Each structure stands twice: as C-alpha cells, then as structure tokens.
Amino acid sequence: MFPWAPPGSSKPGFETSQKPGFFPPGGVSPGGEQPFTPEAAQNLPVGTLIRLSSDNISSLVGVGTTSVKYHKNIPENLGHLFERRADGTNEEKRISNFTIPQVLRVVWAPDGKKAVVFYNLDNQIRKLLIDYATTTPKTSFLPDSISDIAFSPDSKSLVFINNLPASPSQGGGDSQNIFASTADFKNQRKIFDNNVPGFEISWPAANTIALKTKSSYGARGFIYALNASTGAPASPSQGGFNKVAEGLGLDAIWNSDGSGTLYSVSDADGNLLNLKFVDAKTGATKEFSVKTIAEKCAFSKTRKNLVYCAVPDNPQQAKYPDAWWQGKVTFRDDFVSIDVSSGQTSVLVSAKADATQPRVLSDDSWLLFRDKSSGNLWSLKLKL
C-alpha cells in the first residue's frame, strides 16, 4: 500500500526533515516547539506530524477548523486548560488556570465550551461540570451516582447513567436508569429504565444514543442503540433500543450520522481480530484487513464513510484490549484511512507513536491525538 492523500492533494507522504515544531514521535525537540509562519504551515505536505505540546496532557478537543484545547497534567499546570492552533502557527496559550488534581478522564462537549471532568479526590471519583465559555469558568459538582455521561452532538444537552437503589415499588435492587438534561444539568428527565450494570454511554448522532458494555478480552461485549427522542424499547425498524454488535473484547466508535459503528474484537486468547463495520439499521457487516483497537480510530467529519485509524505495526502477543489499556504493552502506530463503504484501505503515514484520543477537526484538515507513551499532543495534516 502507498501513502494516501485526500482528493485534490498533491503532496502525500511524510516529511522527514527537521523543522521547528515538527518532530517524529520519540524524537528530541531542542528548545521546545516554535511556531510556523502561516505560509510555511500552508506548504507542509499532507502526512506532516507536528508536536503541539511536549508536556503530558490529559484531554483534548478539536475546536472548529483551526484549534485544539487540552488540559495539562504536570505539577505546574494541574488541570489547567490550554489552546493552540492545529497547524502550529501560534504558541500555546493558557486560557484557564483552574486547578484540577488527578484528572482521570474528561468528557468534552463537541463545541469545546463545556466539559465533565472525572478526577480522583481522596480515593473517590468526583465529577465536575465546567463551563469554559466565560472568563472565569463556571463549575458544578455532579452527583456521585453518575457512572457515565455524554454531550449531544450540538453540545446543548447531556445524557447520563444514574446508579441508584431502586425503590421498593420497583421490586428493590439497583437501577442504572438513563436520564437526559440540558447541558447545564437542568431539566432532567428519565428516558430509559435500565438495570444492566456497567454501561458506557455516548451520543453519536442527534437521535441516537449508544450504550456499550465495558470491554475485556475475557468477556462478551455488546453495543446497543437507543432512540434519543422516544427512549422506549422498540424493534430495530422503529429505531428504538436494539443490539447492534457483540463480541469478546468489544470496543467501538460511531460514524457522524449514527448509521453505523466501527468495532474491534479479540479471540478467546486475546488476539486482535480484523476491524468490522456494521450498519445499525440493516445489520449488514463488513470486515477490513486492519487490526487495531477501535478507540484508536476517528471518523471523518465531512465524509461519513471515511475513518482514520492508528494501527500497530507489529503488536506483541498479549490479552487485548486489556493489556494496552493497562499499559502492559506499547504500540508503534501507522495511520491508515478506511472507506467503510468500498473497503479501500490506504496508509497515510508511519507515525511510530502510540496514538490515543484521536480527534478530527470539523473540516477534516487536521487529526489530533495524544501519544500514550509520552503524553505529548500531536497533530497530523490530512489535507492541503
């Protein structure tokens, strides 16, 4: 396979010369990352990698067509929020010095204005809703009973799983019911009765809420789709709650309109199997000759059938995906593109990073990711 460039591009491949702010993952950046001029950034070839921050970051979110916001995770900037252009034409800027120690996970609103931060305080996981749209961030503590939460695609609403003991009238036992609210956690309403524990929740498309069981090579996982409007169980033809995919070690991401999901599974020994894409309505499945963990992939924002994946070049034998999540193994990734409609797979660049949290800007100009090994923030140019 050969380096791939989007239609209209004339400079595919990977620039190997050292330039200020541009270094192969694992390389040494003398003096830190210096900004490019706009002209120099414009002339960088497709496939160029730019290190945007040499510090350890704990989250990232793409902002429109230009920038990325990210929390740092270093002693002098614990949970502080920074922003930089994806093309490296400015220096990083701290936009909030609100301190959040021991950040475990951040769920961002797609517009980059709000975030729910999961953090460790005295060995207890706390959840903090932060509105970064004002000069001084507005904060609200969320109930400890919330196990998972997601923003709607338009950033105006939230959906969350609330783990509470069921009332005697409900027969006792615990409930993990699903609720929706406005993005400021007001006007809460229950949209689905649920007693299945351990679901992870996402909101990939306006009318599609997705539920996935926690992944492990030793457990059979499931993905379900829930109608965001009705919230009632229904057959797949009615667009309600229905099983989309299953398998050992299951991990998954959805495309931009919620019509299908790309998922990874493993065999009984924990070996990664080929990626698959399933149509959520028809159940039709396609398989691709690519082995990676689905969370290392990100769908295009402008082409629903195009997905970018970080693929290990020679993964060692281990129990996947658990071994990777637990840090027992490290990958050296190549970035590839997959057209889930035609099945065409092409190599974009050999990054040699262990990419995680991939995010694509809204015009597909840059792909952003965190190198799991170093914690550094990188951008990958996708088109001229």
Phi/psi at 221 (5° precision): -100, 160
Structure confidence by residue, pLDDT tens digits, 187-218? 999 999 888 888 999 999 999 999 999 999 98
The alpha carbons of the chain give a radius of gyration, in whole angstroms, of 21
pLDDT at residue 32 is higher than 70: no
How many domains does the structure of the chain reveal? 1
pTM of the predicted structure, to 2 decimals: 0.88
In a domain, 295, yes or no: yes
Q: Tell me what the mean pLDDT of segment 74-88 comes to.
A: 96
Burial 166-177 (b: 16+ CB within 10 A, else e): eeeeeeeeebbb
pLDDT at residue 2 is higher than 50: no
In a domain, 158, yes or no: no
29 near 54, Cβ under 8 Å?
Answer: yes
- The C-alpha atoms of residue 378 and residue 367 are separated, in whole angstroms, by 8
Structure confidence by residue, pLDDT tens digits, 46-74? 999 999 999 999 999 999 999 999 999 99
Distances in Å between the Cα of 84 and the Cα atoms of 61, 136, 383, 384 are: 11, 19, 19, 19
In a domain, 140, yes or no: no
DSSP secondary structure string, 294-310?
A: GGGEEE-SS-TTEEEEE
pLDDT at residue 281 is higher than 60: yes
pLDDT at residue 130 is higher than 90: yes
Q: How many whole angstroms from its chain centre is CA 132?
A: 20
Q: What percent of the chain has pLDDT over 90?
A: 76
In a domain, 373, yes or no: no
User: What per-residue confidence (pLDDT) applies to 19?
Assistant: 37
Q: Shortest CA distance to 267 belongs to which of 326, 319, 214, 324?
A: 319
Range of 244's domain? 198-353
Q: Tell me what the mean pLDDT of segment 312-331 comes to.
A: 94
Structure confidence by residue, pLDDT tens digits, 210-250? 999 999 998 999 999 998 876 544 343 444 468 999 999 99
In a domain, 81, yes or no: no
Average pLDDT over the chain reads 87
CATH number where 263 lies: 2.130.10.10
- The C-alpha atoms of residue 212 and residue 167 are separated, in whole angstroms, by 26
Q: Which two three-digit tokens encode residue 39?
A: 């002209």
In a domain, 32, yes or no: no
pLDDT at residue 327 is higher than 70: yes
User: What per-residue confidence (pLDDT) applies to 168?
Assistant: 57
User: What per-residue confidence (pLDDT) applies to 241?
Assistant: 64
pLDDT at residue 26 is higher than 70: no
State the pLDDT confidence band at 352, using cuts at 50, 70 and 90.
confident
Q: Tell me what the mean pLDDT of segment 117-128 comes to.
A: 94
In a domain, 362, yes or no: no
pLDDT at residue 21 is higher than 60: no
In a domain, 228, yes or no: yes
* Of 120 and 231, the one with more pLDDT: 120
Exposed/middle/buried for residue 268 (C-beta within 10 Å: 0-12, 13-18, 19+): exposed
- The C-alpha atoms of residue 270 and residue 47 are separated, in whole angstroms, by 32
Phi/psi at 169 (5° precision): -65, -20
User: What per-residue confidence (pLDDT) applies to 166?
Assistant: 63
- The C-alpha atoms of residue 312 and residue 170 are separated, in whole angstroms, by 48
Q: Tell me what the mean pLDDT of segment 357-368 comes to.
A: 97
